[in-house]
């Protein structure tokens, strides 16, 4: 599949969206969500409050946008994988490619931002909404690759939900270590276990692999 490279205008819009999202995360971590105004986020990103409102409807949406955008890039990569590639191989490549070589994934600011998203009641709903949107899009691509209907068949939605669960479990495990290391190995481990059918570790003499 040939994907058209984004034009200058699209790249500028993406840069502005990312700058606003990162500013929202950083300020919420520094000051607390309730102490951050839209005007503060816009000023930190070098744009107007009106521009902020062109991209996001709330501070919470801006903070969760980085997570949603990463998930959507994974969906796009999944769609572009060769059709002859095994389903879970394609999924793993698509998901893990979004973390490979990304130094921001383990920076203190981003770690604090993820902690905020999953612990702050005002943000958890938006975080879950972002995950739901990503799972819907993932299920569509699973349906395309497997000839199943996400509106009727269980399979594509089960696969998408499993991918989402792998991400959530990996993130919680990642945050349990202080300071967190890289998220990618944990996510890879989680996806591998799902792809293998989640075999019962007590049925094997070999202990399941650890990723610390």
Give the tens place of pLDDT for each residue, 25-37. 999 888 888 899 9
Q: Which strand (E) or helix (H) includes residue 111? A: helix 108-119
Q: What CA–CA distance (Å, rounded) separates 57 from 37? A: 13
CB contact set of 69 (below 8 Å; sequence gap of 6+): 17, 18, 21
pTM above 0.75, yes or no: yes
Q: Residue range 155-161: average pLDDT?
A: 97
Give the tens place of pLDDT for each residue, 67-118. 889 899 999 999 999 999 999 999 999 999 988 765 555 567 778 778 877 7
CA atoms within a 13 Å half-sphere pointing along the CA-CB vector of 39 = 1
Residues in the chain: 212
Express as a percent the part of the chain with pLDDT over 70. 89
Q: Per the structure block, which two tokens stand in for 187?
A: 């996510």
Q: How confident is the model at residue 3 (pLDDT cuts 50, 70, 90)?
A: low
Instruction: Indicate whether 205 pLDDT > 60.
Output: no
Q: Which domains does the chain have, with CATH numbers?
A: 9-56 (1.10.10.60), 60-196 (1.10.357.10)
What counts of helices (H) and strands (E) characterise the chain?
Answer: 9, 0
- Residue 212 has what pLDDT? 58
Q: Which strand (E) or helix (H) includes residue 151? A: none
Q: What CA–CA distance (Å, rounded) separates 60 from 55? A: 12
């Amino acid at each position: 599949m040939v994907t058209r490279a984004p034009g200058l205008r699209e790249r500028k819009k993406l840069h502005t969206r990312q700058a606003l999202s990162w500013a929202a995360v950083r300020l919420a971590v520094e000051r607390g969500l309730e102490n951050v105004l839209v005007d503060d986020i816009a000023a930190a990103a070098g744009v107007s409050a009106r521009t902020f409102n062109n991209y996001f409807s709330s501070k919470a949406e801006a903070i969760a946008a980085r997570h949603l955008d990463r998930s959507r890039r994974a969906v796009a990569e999944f769609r572009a994988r060769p059709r002859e590639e095994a389903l879970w191989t394609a999924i793993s490549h698509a998901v893990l490619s979004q973390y490979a070589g990304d130094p921001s994934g383990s920076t203190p600011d981003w770690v604090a931002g993820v902690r905020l998203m999953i612990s702050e009641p005002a943000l958890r709903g938006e975080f879950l909404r972002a995950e739901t949107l990503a799972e819907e899009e993932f299920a569509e691509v699973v349906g395309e690759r497997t000839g199943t209907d996400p509106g009727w068949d269980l399979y594509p939605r089960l696969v998408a939900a499993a991918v989402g669960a792998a991400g959530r479990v990996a993130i919680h495990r990642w945050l349990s270590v202080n300071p967190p290391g890289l998220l990618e190995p944990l996510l890879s481990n989680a996806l591998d276990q799902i792809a293998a059918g989640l075999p019962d570790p007590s049925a094997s003499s070999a202990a399941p692999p650890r990723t610390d």
